[in-house]
Structure 1
Amino acid sequence: MRILHTEWSGDLGGQERRVIAEVTGLAKRGHHTAIVCRPETRFYEESVKRGIEVHTLPLRNPYDIASIARLSKYIAANRFDVINTHSGKDSWIAGIAARFAAAPVLVRTRHLNIPLKRSIFNFIHYLPDAYITCGTNMRKTLVEDCGFPPDVVVSIPTGVDDEFFDIRRDPAVKLKYVSGDAAPIITNVGILRGVKGHEVTLRAVPKIIEAFPNATVLLVGDGPKLKGLQGMARSLGVDNQVVFTGYVAEVAQIYAFSDVAVLSSHSEGIPQSVMQAMAAGVPVVATRVGGVPEVVMHEQTGLLVNPSDHDALADGVIRLLRDKPLTAAIRERAKQFIYENHSATVMLDKLEALYYKLLEAKLLEKISKISGL
């Protein structure tokens, strides 16, 4: 197949990493893959670094006529079989361009658990042949709350790369980020933006260090909330035990010395950071939002707490650090669950099968029309 992915976002968080994983994974399976994105962004740089065929466009707004025209020409010239869009702006531009170019299949991946309104003003939501959600809860939102036909919405959760299943514990790696006597290490991996709720993690720190005075919390990532969160850490008096690592390219190394991973988001699909921690054998405490309960099953594969409840988050971390038998059981069950249900191989198998199914349906439809003539 000849497959084109489009992505407006220039960040390099979970959504963007999934796009890159799909493109590179399908290329390894023999398909021709490419990406259309904005130039001079972190996503663009990472895509080029991975050896992906990249075509850049401004993608200024949903009705960027110049980008629509240029993209339509690019799609037609390269005879792409499948166009898979990801963010809002590129979904409008690529959706319209794909139809002008008569691309056989148009798919949109929905990464956020936020409703989409279908109306005459949002006609773009009627164009895709299929919608991919990153979890069953997100699929339920589109079908039950937004009126999308059930047969066009499929859940394909993000897959975890093989490297996370093979991480070996190496406490020495932590010296790159913290002092040698810092222990235990609690990590929160994710872009520093409002929806991730890092302020909840910070409010949990005083209670954690009361129980474990040498505990250190790592906020791994960067983003627009960095300065505000740093100020909050100072105001709470925990800035000496909170480390802002900035962007970390090799997140796997973080889990080589983490004792507990936390997620304090206010809204989520199925976060990659949680699944990566579980695959690496790091126990998780996460907020009960979006698709998180699909992978973090309370007291089975991790601990769940209500969103914004920093006391419960702290209690969950303390419980995992103290209750060794529970933690050992959670680690084992979580790792096995992710391997069997959320590996990169499982994700690519489902994605590839969906593309083939949609292309086959279009071919049969075309044959039927010809036969009818």
Structure 2
Amino acid sequence: MKGQKNHSKDGIKTVEIYKIDGVGVNLERFHPVSEKEKSDLRKHLGFSEKDFIITVVAELNKNKNQIKLVCAVPELSKLIPNLKILLIGKETLPTVRNFVEKEHLESTVKFLGYRRDIDKLTMISNIAFSASLREGLPVNIIEAMACGLPVVASDNRGHRSLVKDKETGFIFNPASEKEMIDAIILLYKNPSLCSEMGRRNVVEAQKYSVDIAVSKMSEIYGDCISSENEGGVQK
């Protein structure tokens, strides 16, 4: 997230640019939970301990590209029989639901719509996923990182700014279904890799805390106000 301040010196206007790491994430709400807490939450939300849950938090539209993952469900299900895909967000494009109904994937792909318990749904998940064609700095990915999830995400500027490929998750070529499937299968087969990437993400997410964002914005506004006062005309 960027902001700017205009200066005028000797008749020449200059611009000072400020940068902060996003709008901030509530780390008191989004955080890792113990295995027992996760198990209890899954039971409460209607999922099994054996389910392998991939969560996609985004409005269902063309740019968010959820169809990329959903089209791979028949192939993924061959190796992950307990697969569950949670699509969380308002539906504005019928393509995904039409495909799910046509292929009879309702037992695997869950359309959860708008939810107020995204934190809990994220906490019970194994992987956070995004196949977006374009992204800025996706808050949903930061929230998943804060909960200790590895991330599988398409290669774009916003995802690259958050995900360290093969360290905190996997960045895949959006044109390659194989890269995407291979990353998911690798994490499914290696729980220890999931845990290690998740631990790294919890650390990475700390710099995106809403407290840090508010503090930095306060400093920026204070600096701007101070500069305006110093530049004022005294009569």
Normalising by structure 1, report the TM-score.
0.56
The equivalent of 1:211 in structure 2 is 79
Q: 2:204 aligns with which of 330, 337, 346?
A: 337
Q: Which amino acid aligns with 1:233?
A: V
Match for 2:76: what amino acid?
I
* 2:156 is equivalent to residue 293 of structure 1: no
Amino acid at match of 2:179: A
1:248 match: secondary structure: coil
Give the aligned partner of residue 23 of structure 2.
Answer: 158
Percent identical pairs in the alignment equals 22
Task: Return the match for 1:262 from 113, 118, 129.
Answer: 129
The answer to whether the 8 Å contact 2:4/2:18 transfers is no
The code of the aligned residue for 1:194 comes to K
What residue number does 2:62 align with?
A: 194
Determine the structure 1 residue equivalent to 2:142: 275
Counterpart check, 1:246 vs 2:113: yes
Corresponding residue SS for 2:107: helix
Aligned to 2:11: none
Q: Distance in 2 between matches of 1:334 and 1:156?
A: 15
Partner of 1:16: none
Match for residue 194 of structure 2? Answer: 327
Deviation at 1:153, TM superposition (A): 5.2
Q: Which runs of 4+ in 1 moved over 6 A?
A: none
Q: Residues 104-115 of structure 1: matches in 2 within 5 Å?
A: none
Which residue type is aligned with residue 223 of structure 2? K
Which protein has the bigger helix share? 1
Letter in 2 for 1:189: V
Deviates more, 1:325-334 or 1:265-274: 325-334
Deviation track 1:265-306 (CA, whole Å, cap 9, x = no partner) reads: 110011111111111011111112122112110111111112
Cα 1:291–1:164, aligned 2, differ >3 Å: closer, same or farther? Answer: same
Please give the alpha-carbon distance, in whole angstroms, between the structure 2 residues aligned to 1:262 and 1:305.
11
For structure 2, which runs of at least 5 residues remain unmatched after alignment?
A: 7-13
SS at match of 1:238: coil
Deviates more, 1:160-169 or 1:196-205: 160-169
Pick from 215, 224, 228 the counterpart of residue 349 of structure 1.
Answer: 215
- Measured against aligned partners, the alpha-carbon deviations of 1:279-335 in whole angstroms (never above 9, x if no partner) come to 101111111212211211011111111224333222211111112332222111111
| Corresponding residue for residue 223 of structure 1 | 91
For the residues of structure 2 that align with 1:334 and 1:274, how far apart are their CA atoms? 10
* Structure 2 counterparts to residues 45-194 of structure 1, below 5 A: 129-130=4-5, 151-152=16-17, 154-162=19-27, 163-168=29-34, 169-175=37-43, 178-180=46-48, 183-194=51-62
Bigger relative CO (Cα 8 Å, ≥ 6 apart): 2
Instruction: Name stretches of at least 5 consecutive residues in structure 1 with no aligned partner.
Output: 1-108, 111-127, 132-148
How far apart, in 1, do the equivalents of 2:26 and 2:112 lie? 22
The two structures, once aligned, show a CA RMSD in angstroms of 2.4
Amino acid at match of 1:230: R
Counterpart CA distance in 2 for 1:155 and 1:179 is 38
Counterpart contact for 1:266–1:308, Cα < 8 Å: no
The answer (yes or no) to whether the contact 1:205–1:314 under 8 Å persists in 2 is no
Larger displacement relative to structure 2 (319-328 or 293-302): 319-328
Equivalences, count = 225
Task: Give the one of 145, 159, 170 matched to 1:303.
Answer: 170
Q: 1:209 is matched by which residue type in structure 2?
A: S
Q: Deviations over 1:211-244 (max 9, x none)?
A: 111211110111312x331102123442321000
1:361 aligns with 2:227: yes
CA displacement, residues 312-367 of structure 1 (integer Å, 9 cap, x when unaligned): 2222111111123322221111111111x11111111111111111111111111x
